[in-house]
Structure 1
Amino acid sequence: MKLRFLGKNSQVGDCPTLYATDRDTYLVQGWKIFANDLLMQLTLSQGETAVEVPTELCEHLGKDGLPSGKFKRLEGPLMALTPGGTYVVQGRAVTDPEPLAQMSTPDYESVVEVSKAAIIALLEEPRGADLQRRAQPAL
């Protein structure tokens, strides 16, 4: 897997980082989630994990030709906007040594892979069935 660095939001040390891949996916390097209340809200399939990243990290999507504005939807793979102003991103846990060797990932961080199509969908205005789901009262 070939990686293209899109950006990070710190000049010092390792921090959440965004990469584009040659597989029409993104690798999102972020903080491991240890908060039980947050973990209980997630439904993770086998082989998946979630990471927490600052919302500003997504501004680097513009370097891959995507709108770098705010997400218009909060649904898979972007699972939550936390009270602290961070996103929780869920995806396939990256364990392949080849891409991991191209990154510097400290013990308190992990890497998830998400499809470019899923990210693009989150940047689009909701329509059709999405708007109907929003209009229905929560139970």
Structure 2
Amino acid sequence: MKLRFIAIDTGKDGCPTLYASDQDSYVIQGWRLADPASVPELPIQEHETCVEVPARLLTALERPAAEGAGATSHLATGRGTYIIRGPEITDPGTLAQMNVPSHETAVEVPRAHMDDLARELAWPG
């Protein structure tokens, strides 16, 4: 999978990062959740995990192509962050394009699953 850098949120505890992929998806790098099953509002499939990222990172989501609600892969925490679920990135070629510290991981999310959030945070109106 080829990644294109969109944005990074540098801070004191790692660097959550947003990428677009050549698979019509986003790759979102963020803080690893110790227990993804502890978020019952986001049902986790066997092959998925969760990351937490600052809301301000997601203001860089690209303009959605079409109107309409898709499935969602995110949950607002109420603490200025979002929890994002998706398959964990494990492919060595994809990981080689990223700098992922041990307390972080990355998930792939279909672009359509982030469209409503993009409209809300990055492209209102």
TM-score (norm 1): 0.71
Match of 2:83 among 88, 93, 112: 88
> Are the equivalent residues in 2 in contact too, given 1:76–1:90 (CA < 8 A)?
no
Secondary structure (helix, strand or coil) at the match of 1:99 reads: helix
- Compute the displacement of 1:83 (Å): 2.9
- Cα shift readout 1:2-27 (whole Å, capped 9, x = no counterpart): 11000112277841000000110000
Map 1:103-118; keep pairs closer than 5 Å.
103-118=98-113
Runs of 5+ unmatched residues, structure 2: 121-125
Distance 1:103 1:83, change over 3 A: same
Paired position in structure 2 for 1:2: 2
Paired position in structure 2 for 1:17: 17
Instruction: Please say which of residues 40-49 and 4-13 is displaced more in the overlay.
Output: 4-13
> Are the equivalent residues in 1 in contact too, given 2:89–2:106 (CA < 8 A)?
yes
Q: How many residues align?
A: 114
Find the structure with the greater CA-based Rg: 1
Paired position in structure 2 for 1:77: 73
Q: Which amino acid aligns with 2:100?
A: T
Paired position in structure 1 for 2:28: 28
Q: Which amino acid aligns with 1:98?
A: G
Q: Which amino acid aligns with 1:83?
A: G
Q: Which amino acid aligns with 1:44?
A: I
> Are the equivalent residues in 1 in contact too, given 2:58–2:118 (CA < 8 A)?
no
Runs of 5+ unmatched residues, structure 1: 68-72, 126-139
Higher helix share: 1
Distance 1:7 1:40, change over 3 A: closer
- Cα shift readout 1:51-94 (whole Å, capped 9, x = no counterpart): 00000011111xx4x16xxxxx8x7301x211321000001111
Paired position in structure 2 for 1:132: none
TM-align CA RMSD: 2.5
TM-score (norm 2): 0.79
Following TM superposition, where does structure 1 have runs of at least 4 consecutive aligned residues deviating by more than 6 angstroms?
Answer: none
